[in-house]
Amino acid sequence: MRDSAGNLYGSNANYGADQGGVLFKLDTASNLTVLYSFGPGPGGYQCAGLVINSGGTIYGSTASGAGTGRSGYGCGAIFEVSTAGYFSVVYTFPGGADGSGHQIALSPSGALYGAAEGGAEDGGLVYRLTLQ
């Protein structure tokens, strides 16, 4: 995914300090910067999708880690990374009826939509998260 300045953002699984994946930026001069290393803790593991809003804030989701669902392994989270590079968790998936995070999309109104595993009948669900 590219921002308005042409910088490329992405993620890859199984790299970083805890092999949980990394979120990276590749600028127009080909300088690579790791913005966040996923693993145990609030962010979870394996970034599953990224979007960027018009202000340059990156949103993404993780497929596991974060929280206490899945027998203590966590069910993933939705996170944001500010233009200054600060990482924070926006929502932690609890599992069960609220599922566990995966894909993510940004609507023109600024809300996040996605698909997740789990749900009331364990057949998956579609979610909407309104950002403030």
pLDDT value at residue 70: 47
**HEC letters along 50-75:** EEECCCCCEEEEEEEECCCCCCCCCE
Evaluate if residue 8 carries a pLDDT over 50.
yes
Do residues 113 and 104 touch, judged by C-beta distance below 8 A? yes
Evaluate if residue 3 carries a pLDDT over 50.
yes
Domains of the chain: 40-129 (2.40.10)
pLDDT band, residue 40 (cuts 50/70/90): low
Distance CA 43, CA 88 (A): 8
68: alpha, beta or left? (left if phi > 0; alpha if psi -120 to 50): alpha
Dmax over CA atoms of the chain, in Å, equals 49
- The predicted-structure confidence for 44-78, as pLDDT tens digits, reads as follows 556 667 889 888 899 988 776 655 554 455 677 88
For residues 31-48, give the mean pLDDT: 72
Evaluate if residue 127 carries a pLDDT over 60.
yes
